[in-house]
Chains A and B, each alone.
Chain A
C-alpha cells in the first residue's frame, strides 16, 4: 500500500496531509471561541495603536522630511504601518517551522512522506493561519482607517518580500539545527535578529535617527547596517509607496541577497549535521 504508489495518488495524499492537519488545527483553535475573538480584537488594537502614534507625530516637519527623503513615505502613519505590513509579510512567508524537527521528527520519520514535505505541511497550522489573518487585518485597518495603501502590484516590492522570506527560511533552518542539538528554544542568531529587529531596522523608528542617540548612536548605527531586515524595510517602502522600479531597488539589496544565500546554506548544513549527531547521541527523540 505504501511502497509503489502512483504520482497522482502521492500528490493527493500530500494535499490530504496538509488539509487534514490544517482542519484539525482549526477545530482545536476554534474550540475555545473567546480565545479566537480576543486574538482578533488584540490584533486590531495593535495596528490601531501604531497608526494613532504615527498620526500624533504628524506635523513634525524635520521628521517627515527625513523619512520622505530616505523611505519615500510622506507621513509617519504611512511609515509605521508600511513597516508593520512588510514585517508581517516577510514573517508570514516563512514556509518552514523550525521547531518541527525537535518535536516532530520522531513521529514523522517513519511515515511514508518525505520529512521535508511534512515539515512544510506542519507549518500550515494555526500559527500560519494567524499570521495570514493578522496580515489581512493590518492591510485592511491601514487602508480603511488610516488611508495607507501600498502598491501590491509592484514587482520590485514582491522581490523584496521574497528575498526577506528566503533569508528568514535560512535562519529557520539554522534554528531547527540548533534546537535539535541543544533542545533549547532559540539560537543566538535568531535571538539577535528578533531583539534588534524593532529598534534597528527601521520597522517603526527611522534608522537615520539611531545615529543621533547620544553617546552610543554612532556605534548602534552599525547594527542597522549589518541587519538584512534594514534593507528589506527600506527598499520595500521605496518600491510599494515610492514607486521605485526593480532595477533601482536591486543594487541596494546586495547585502540581504548575500545574507539569504549564506544562511540558506549554513542553515541546511547545520540541520543535517545536527540530525546526524543527535541520532548518534540518542537525543533525537527528546522533546
Chain B
C-alpha cells in the first residue's frame, strides 16, 4: 500500500449496504436477520484504479452502478465494507482528519436564497479558512474567469438554474482544494453554457494543476472533457481514455462505445452465470 506519487489510489474497494431498516428500534429487523431474510445490497466490489495529479477523471456507468457510492466513500459520508481510497497516500476514511480541507464536492452546497452572490461567495471563502484578503482576491479572479461579474449583486434566488450551478461551482473552487468531486454537475445547463463551462473549468485546471473526479451520464460531455474514464457497473469494467475506448469498440463516439462495452460485459456475466458448456467442466 505504498504511495506511488499519484493523487488518488483506490485499492480493492467494496461497499455492501446493510439491508434497509424497517423501523427505528429494529426488533423486526433482528427477527428477519436471525431468520436469514435480510440480504445486503451490493454497490461496489473489487474496484481498483489510480488517478494522476492534475487529471480530469470521469466516472461513468448506468444508474445504480455505484458512481455516487464511490463519491460518498471518497468524501467519507459512507464507510467502505473493505478496501481503501488513498489521497496522497492517506486513507480518506480511516484517517479522515488528515485529508480534511483537501477534497471539495460541489453537490452539497446550500445557499441562503435572499443573499446576493457576492456575500454568498464571501461565506464560501470563510468556510474554507481563507482570510478576508484571500477571499476577495480569489473571488474576483474566479468571477472574472467564469464571467459572472454582472450577477454579483443579485440575490441567489433570482439566478437562472444554469447561473445557480455556476455560483455553486465558483463557491466550490473558492476552496482551493486539491481534489474536486463533481457528481453530475450540469443537468440544468443549456448546451452553450455547458460548453463555456467546460472550457472555463479546463482553463482553471490547467492554471492550478488541480485534480477532478467527474461523474456524469452525459457521454458527449465525458468525451469532451475527461482525460481518462473509469466505467463502473458495481465493479470496475475498464479504466481507459475516451479515445482508446472508442477505438477498441470501433465506434465513432463515446456513447456508442459505452453501450457496446456494457453489452459485452452483460454477455460475459450471463455466460459466467450459466457455467461452462456441457463436457467442458
For the complex, what is the distance from the CA of A13 to the CA of B20, rounded to whole Å?
40
A-B contact count (CB 8 A): 109
Q: Which chain B residue shows the least CB distance to A112?
A: B101
Q: Is the CB of A27 within 8 A of B78?
A: no
The interface bits of chain A over 153-184 (1 if a CB of B lies within 8 angstroms of the residue's CB, else 0) are: 00000000000000000000000000001101
Bound-state Cα–Cα, A9 to B134, Å:
12
- How far is A135 from B50 in the complex, measured between Cα atoms in Å? 57
Contact yes or no, A16 B24, CB < 8 A: no
Interface residue? A272 (CB, 8 A)? no
Nearest-neighbour CB distance to chain B for A49, whole angstroms, equals: 31
B-binding segment of A192-200, A205-213, A242-250, A276-284:
A276-284
CB-based contact A17/B126 at 8 Å? yes
B104, A110: Cβ atoms under 8 Å? yes
* A111 contacts B127, C-beta separation under 8 Å: yes
Contact with B along A101-145 (1 / 0, CB 8 A): 000011111111100000000000000000000000000000000
Give A255 Cβ to nearest chain B Cβ, in Å: 28
Contact B110 A107 (CB under 8 A): yes
Tell me whether B141 is interfacial, beta carbon within 8 Å: no
Does the CB pair A16–B76 fall under 8 Å? Answer: no
Q: Is A12 an interface residue (CB 8 A)?
A: yes
Which of the segments B111-119, B209-217, B249-257, B272-280 contacts the partner chain? B111-119
Q: Taking the complex as formed, is A31 at the interface, i.e. its CB lies under 8 A from any CB of chain B?
A: yes
Q: What is the CB-to-nearest-CB distance from A8 to chain B, in angstroms, rounded to a whole number?
A: 11
Within 8 A of A (CB), among B3-44: 15, 17-18, 20-21, 24, 43
**Bound form: Cα–Cα A9–B18 in Å:** 42
Scoring A residues 11 to 34 as 1 if CB is less than 8 Å from chain B, else 0, what string do you get?
Answer: 011001101110111011001100
Q: Report the bound CA distance from A232 to B104 in whole Å.
A: 45
| B131 beta carbon closer than 8 Å to chain A | yes
Give chain B nearest CB distance to A118 CB in angstroms: 8
Q: Which residues of A contact B129 (CB under 8 A)?
A: 1-2, 5, 9-10, 13, 112-113
Assuming the contacts A12-B131, A16-B132, asked whether A110 and B114 have C-beta atoms less than 8 A apart, the reply is no
A27 in complex: contacting residue of B76, B96, B119, CB < 8 Å: B119
Give the residues in chain B near A285, CB-CB below 8 Å: 72, 77-78, 108
Nearest CB on B from A274, distance (A): 11
Residues A3 and B101 in contact, CB atoms below 8 Å apart: yes
- Given A1-B176, A16-B126, decide whether A109 and B18 contact each other with a Cβ distance below 8 A: no
Residues of chain B within 8 A of A284, CB atoms compared: 72, 77-78
Asked whether B126 lies within 8 Å of A106 as measured between CB atoms, the reply is no
Closest to B15 in A: A282
Q: Which of B80-135 contact A (CB under 8 A)?
A: 96, 100-105, 108-110, 112-115, 119-120, 122-123, 126-132
Alpha-carbon distance A28/B120, docked complex (angstroms): 11
Do B75 and A110 touch (CB < 8 A)? yes
Q: B119, A24: Cβ atoms under 8 Å?
A: yes
Q: Give the complex CA separation of A105 and B130 in angstroms.
A: 21
Partner of B128, one of A10, A112, A181: A112
A107-B108, A280-B79, A285-B77 known; A24+B128 contact, CB < 8 A: no
Q: How far is the CA of A113 from the CA of B119 in the complex (A)?
A: 20
Q: Within the assembled complex, what's the spacing in Å between the Cα atoms of A5 and B102?
A: 14
B120 contact set on A, CB distance < 8 A: 24
Q: Are B126 and A2 in contact (CB under 8 A)?
A: no
List the B residue with the shortest CB-CB distance to A1.
Answer: B176
- Residue in chain B with minimal CB distance to A17: B126
If A280-B18, A281-B17 touch, does A112 touch B110 (CB 8 Å cutoff)? Answer: no
**Inter-subunit contact A2/B101 (CB<8 Å):** yes
Closest Cβ neighbor of A285 among chain B residues: B77
Contacts of B186 on A, CB cut-off 8 Å? none
Inter-chain contact A23/B112, CB cutoff 8 Å: no
Bound state CA distance, A279 and B72, in angstroms?
A: 9
B77–A106 touching, CB < 8 Å: yes
Q: How far is the CA of A182 from the CA of B114 in the complex (A)?
A: 31
> Would you mind naming 21 contact pairs between A and B with Cβ atoms under 8 Å apart?
A1-B129, A1-B176, A2-B100, A2-B176, A13-B126, A16-B126, A17-B126, A24-B120, A27-B112, A27-B115, A107-B110, A108-B127, A110-B101, A113-B127, A279-B77, A279-B78, A280-B78, A282-B69, A282-B78, A284-B77, A285-B108
Listed in ascending order, the chain A residues whose CB lies under 8 Å from chain B are 1-3, 5, 9-10, 12-13, 16-17, 19-21, 23-25, 27-28, 31-32, 105-113, 181-182, 184, 276, 279-282, 284-285
Given A2-B176, A17-B127, A19-B126, 4 more contacts at CB 8 Å? A2-B102, A13-B130, A21-B126, A112-B100
What 7 pairs between A and B have smallest CB-CB spacing?
A112-B101, A2-B101, A31-B114, A28-B112, A20-B126, A13-B129, A107-B108
